[in-house]
Amino acid sequence: MIALVDCNNFYASCERVFNPSLDGKPIVVLSNNDGCVIARSQEAKDKGVEMGEVAFQRMDFYAANSIHVFSSNYTLYGDLSRRVMETLASVIPEIEIYSIDEAFLDLTGYAQFNDLATLASTMRERVYQNIGIPVSVGIAPTKALAKIANRLCKKLKRKNGFIILDNQEKIDAALKMVAIGDVWGIGRRYAKLLNGYHVTTAYEFTKLNDDFVKKHLSVVGLRLLHELRGKPCLDMEFSASAKKNICTSRSFGSQTDSYLEIREAVANHAAMCAEKLRRQKSCAAVVSVFIETNRFDTRQVYVGRSKSINLPVASNDTTELTHYALKALDLIYKAGIRYKKAGVIVLDFVPQENVQANLFDVENRERKKQLMQTVDKLNRWAGKGMVKLAVQGTGSFNVKAQNEPKEHRSWQLRRERLSPRYSTCWEELLTVRI
């Protein structure tokens, strides 16, 4: 059996952990740049706040309904996520961290005790006691069915917080209650297609024949079909595999046509890509930069441009990746256009130890490697962005709004309703008065 543990309204729940006065109150969390709603507490859902709605159009509604609005605080969510996962792993070590708020647990060897209910309760209680985050648990013979169980658990608002599908009767009943579009792996397109064939529930999907599914949904759909019939096709992945490409991009707080500001943004994105590469011990052979205008702005024609550059030698060096990223930027930047977003993508990875040298390479790579190690060490010790390239500018991405330097950069994120980094920053720790 496999369990899927999923945090309830995760980001909204995180905001509550250090601010219990928010218990029972409606909360929404906004995307980067305070753009759209990406998380809602149950109370906010009940008041009619939709996933993805555009925040600035709804501010009056939020105010009128006493809905608490937060900017995304990924430093906080990431740290609480890590703690949730650690607690789950203390119960069941066979854990696959699937996303920031979900994990699959392999219960093989635990199922024999035939007391999955106790197990599910234990996990929920321990996570709530240790971190203060409520979770839902779905348990079933396959990953896809565990997802179904979890989905149903939330949909039915189960008091005990878990659903166990341990026989065919329960599985069928569950499948009949889940709409096809809510099945893991069925997106908007496939839902529409299947609806066209009068398939509206997960149960009806399991009655389709293999060839039909393979033809229309490829082998991915076929695997899902078998999973929903109870035949495991998706393995557990206990260790995170290295990424095959890495992208760092942000919308600007406000539009800008300033070359210097955009250059600063691109330099920061490139530096972040380099840092992520070093963390997974990869080097990239290609760096790609894109810039674009606001797609929603009707007063200006949409412009999106990108440029890839092949590096002479695959690298994860900040100075080198930044150098080529800025070179790419120069090739696509045009003055007189108001840009809204920029990003850097690195791809074509090779393991750090496996980099093919270039006969004409003039870099002292060993020396630069040591430099990067030192920079990473300093930044880990003293805080993100402590040591960086001058071209990245003196404003910092990760400094909390009120501590930000006076000079304003229009590329910097808008995050006007940011909560403190309660658990990762000395200056922002909770103060308790006795």
Interface with DNA (CB under 7 A):
31-33, 35-36, 38, 52, 54, 56, 98-102, 147, 183-191, 218-220, 243-251, 254-255, 269, 276, 294, 296-297, 340-341, 343, 345, 413
- Comparing CB distances to DNA, the nearer of 90 and 99 is 99
- Comparing CB distances to DNA, the nearer of 147 and 421 is 147
- Comparing CB distances to DNA, the nearer of 23 and 237 is 237
Residue pair 249/269 in contact (Cβ under 8 Å)? The answer is: yes
Length of the chain: 434
Residue pair 407/25 in contact (Cβ under 8 Å)? The answer is: no
Q: How far is the CB of 130 from DNA (least distance, A)?
A: 21
CB atoms within 10 A of CB 206: 19
- N-term to C-term CA, the chain: 47
- Comparing CB distances to DNA, the nearer of 25 and 384 is 384
Q: How far is the CB of 338 from DNA (least distance, A)?
A: 8
d(C-alpha 155, C-alpha 263), whole Å: 47
CB atoms within 10 A of CB 166: 16
- Comparing CB distances to DNA, the nearer of 19 and 245 is 245
Q: How far is the CB of 249 from DNA (least distance, A)?
A: 3
Strand partners, 6: 102, 136
Strand 68-70 and strand 27-30: the pairing is parallel
- Comparing CB distances to DNA, the nearer of 51 and 382 is 51
Is residue 151 exposed (0-12), middle (13-18) or buried (19+ Cβ within 10 Å)? buried
d(C-alpha 10, C-alpha 172), whole Å: 29
Torsion of CA 180, 182, 185, 191, to 10 degrees: 40
- Comparing CB distances to DNA, the nearer of 143 and 323 is 143
Q: How far is the CB of 114 from DNA (least distance, A)?
A: 29
Residue pair 51/37 in contact (Cβ under 8 Å)? The answer is: yes
- At 47, give phi and psi (nearest 5°): -85, 0
Tokens of 257: 């046509």
- Comparing CB distances to DNA, the nearer of 296 and 360 is 296
- Comparing CB distances to DNA, the nearer of 147 and 388 is 147
- Comparing CB distances to DNA, the nearer of 235 and 427 is 235
Q: How far is the CB of 74 from DNA (least distance, A)?
A: 9
Residue pair 262/409 in contact (Cβ under 8 Å)? The answer is: no
CA 44 to centroid of chain Cα atoms: 22
Q: How far is the CB of 122 from DNA (least distance, A)?
A: 23
CA 372 to centroid of chain Cα atoms: 26
Q: How far is the CB of 76 from DNA (least distance, A)?
A: 15
- Comparing CB distances to DNA, the nearer of 42 and 255 is 255
Residue pair 133/103 in contact (Cβ under 8 Å)? The answer is: no
Q: How far is the CB of 247 from DNA (least distance, A)?
A: 3
Q: Where are the beta strands (DSSP E) in 131-234?
A: 135-140, 162-164
Residue pair 344/325 in contact (Cβ under 8 Å)? The answer is: yes
Q: How far is the CB of 52 from DNA (least distance, A)?
A: 7
Closest-CA residue to 34 (of 10, 61, 55, 63): 55
The two counts, helices (H) then strands (E), for the chain are: 13, 12
Q: How far is the CB of 57 from DNA (least distance, A)?
A: 8
Q: How far is the CB of 111 from DNA (least distance, A)?
A: 24
